[in-house]
Structure 1
Amino acid sequence: MRIRLLLLATVLVASAAAQPVLEKAAPPPAGPLAELSLADAAVLGAVEGITEYLPVSSTGHLIIAARALRVDSNLPLRRANGEVHWFVPPTAKHPDGVPLTLKLAADTYVVVIQFGAIAAVGMLYWRQLVAMLLGLLGRDPAGLRLLRNVLLAFLPAAIVGFLVHDWIDTHLFSLEAVIAAQVAGAGLILWAERYRRRRVATTARHPEFPTDLSMGAAFRIGLLQCVSLWPGTSRSMMTIIGGYLAGLDPRRSAEFSFLLGFVTLSAATVYKSLKTGEAMIMIFGWPHVLFGCVVAAITAALAVKFLVGWLSRHGMAIFAYYRLALAAGLGILAAVGWL
């Protein structure tokens, strides 16, 4: 009964989040308004797929990639006669309207191609997803506990993300915010690895599988996931660290992070698609979006397999040093005007 109530609460949160995105937009033109080359689509898809599940922040890397590819312009796109091309035309209620821009389309594109990364986890962890479905139907007690824990970990980020999403888009999608998050994340990883090694040295009993997590532990992992709303932090990093703190080993922490990501990324991708997906299609067209999803799916599957094997043997420390190197490199490139 508790799980069904939790599932109902999740659906209600998702429904509430979807309501503001159903604003009436301008009808789409016959073809795309701007060119996104297949090479650009492949680069963005590969960056998304490789970094989505690694503890390095896919959002941060995609902000950097979009800037490097010069698809982050905030200038309104204009028609042949010079008039602004509106996504949401000005009205008495919203006099500023929402003009079509490359940045609006690119920001949506890098979220929508997460469908590819989501599909990769669906293919690799289909047994766990089926177990959760059977648990909901009352046929798999372990699957029901896993579903309970995933939903409990999902709800905090769903609520907080809905409340602050627009503010984050406006104020935190910047290179400076990404650099700061990369440095802070590196420190967190190094601390978490030291904590994990000290914990392993003790004889205390710890949960072995995500199904063994208590409701409180699952919820606390969800609270940590909220921190990753800051671009450049990394959702997978925060949830893997949450798994460490709950007592899971690196492999199981990563697997719970992937399953939680399946739900969280699905919700975020659907939300963004409903909100500004039409603008993306108006500017770039469908073929490049689908191509980016395919590239993201292939690269994400490879990244997931790599991460599970690496964490099982070495832990996360290497990613802390990567984050520090990336932050330093970005700072230098920004200082000389290359980004």
Structure 2
Amino acid sequence: MDILTVILLGIVEGVTEFLPVSSTGHLILASALLGYDSETWAVFNIVIQLGAILAIVVLYWRTFWVVLVGLFKRDALAIRFVRNILVAFIPAAVIGFALHKKIEALLGQPIVVAVALVVGGIAIIGIERITKPGEVRGVAEVPLGTVIGIGFIQCLAMVPGVSRSGATILGALALGVERRTAAEFSFFLAIPTMLGATTLELVANRHALAGGAGVGLGAIALGTLVAFVVALVVVRWFVTLVGRTGFSPFGWYRIVVGAAAFIWLISK
């Protein structure tokens, strides 16, 4: 096990998972930059997302507790909260399962990531400039039609480099959701989405993991822990930053990194 690579990829995952910059894209570019076999580390890159999920559960445990208690009391707000997250998850679950093999094929193409980073960066800046401040506040208050729209927009992130959080956040903004609620909706939607993707990957590769092929369970556990710790810090910072500056800085970051990666890849 290459501990330095494991830690580095865990940091990349923790920093980028909930930012609109594409964690998968950064991990793919890291594999190209470091020169290791992306197929060997493919399962690792997906499963360590569990660390980022756990960070959201820890940071928002009060919200989840209130929702859980509300469900037992049949509180309308808690029911709408859960309904909205599950409904938004359905398109990605259906389409992701149907196109699993094709999506996997794209994960080995860093040039796709570079292009998607640039295009996504331009989209972020454009949407920030043309959309008016949203009025919908609170995950439970997002209308069902908007929820369905966000769910389908999330499917764009099946192309590596698009960014799941970027697609859902910008989609929510374009559909009239205010910034903080858009970010938190994306955080909560990540839980079933990433759990589903991780479960699918573990089931598909269960024999390889059991036989010791690819990256071992020890490396996956360490990478998950690193991603968890880093994500705890980054999510708090991200929510504060978005409230002050919006999402445009991430758009410019994507354009610079994507353009640099594209130039580097075509010149290899």
Percent identical among aligned pairs is 36
Change (3 A) 1:244 1:250: same
Residue 122 (structure 1) aligned to one of 57, 68, 75: 57
Q: Give matches, 1:309-324, under 5 Å.
A: 309-324=240-255
Matching of residues 1-339 of structure 1 within 5 Å? 36-72=1-37, 103-171=38-106, 173-196=108-131, 199-200=132-133, 206-280=135-209, 282-283=212-213, 284-337=215-268
C-alpha separation between the residues in 1 aligned to 2:230 and 2:256? Answer: 23
1:173 Cα deviation after fit: 3.3
TM-score normalised by L of structure 2: 0.94
Aligned residues of 1:41 and 1:288 also touching (Cα < 8 A):
yes
- Asked if 2 retains the 8 angstrom alpha-carbon contact of 1:112 and 1:269, the reply is yes
Q: Which has the higher contact order (CA 8 A, sep 6+)?
A: 2
Structure 1 residues 248 and 320: alpha-carbon distance in aligned structure 2, compared to 1, 3 A threshold: same
Separation of aligned partners in 1, 2:216 and 2:125: 43
SS in 1 for 2:41: helix
1-structure distance, mates of 2:28, 2:39: 12
What are the ranges of 5 or more consecutive residues in structure 2 without an aligned counterpart? Answer: none
For 1:290 and 1:253, how far apart are their aligned partners in 2?
A: 30
Per the TM alignment, residue 105 of structure 1 is displaced from its structure 2 partner at its CA by: 3.3
CA distance in 1, matches of 2:130, 2:66: 32
Check whether the contact 2:88–2:152 (CA below 8 A) recurs between aligned residues. Answer: yes
Cα 1:291/1:171, change in 2 over 3 Å: closer
Structure 1: which 5+ residue stretches go unaligned?
1-35, 73-102
Deviation for aligned residue 1:277 = 4.4
Which is richer in helix? Answer: 2
Q: Rate the CA distance shift 1:167–1:51 in 2: closer, same or farther, 3 A.
A: same
Given the superposition, is the C-alpha separation of residues 311 and 277 from structure 1 closer, same or farther in structure 2, using an over 3 Å criterion?
farther
Matched residues, number: 266
In the TM superposition, residue 331 of structure 1 has moved relative to its aligned partner by 1.8
Counterpart AA for 1:54: L
C-alpha RMSD over aligned residues: 1.7
Give me the whole-angstrom Cα distance separating, in 1, the residues matched to 2:63 and 2:43: 29
- Distance of 2:207 and 2:54 partners within structure 1: 22
Offset of 1:208 from its aligned partner? 1.6
Deviations 1:288-316 (A, max 9, x none): 11110110001111111111011101000
Q: Contact 1:134–1:144 at 8 Å: present in 2 too?
A: no
The Cα shift of 1:54 comes to: 0.5
TM-score between both structures, scaled by the size of structure 1:
0.75
Q: Provide, for residues 179-228 of structure 1, a one-character-per-residue CA deviation record: whole Å limited to 9, x for no partner.
A: 111111012101210133xx23xxxx822211111111111000100111
**CA–CA distance in 1 between the matches of 2:33 and 2:125?**
29
Q: Equivalents in 1 of 2:73, 2:252: separation in Å? A: 45
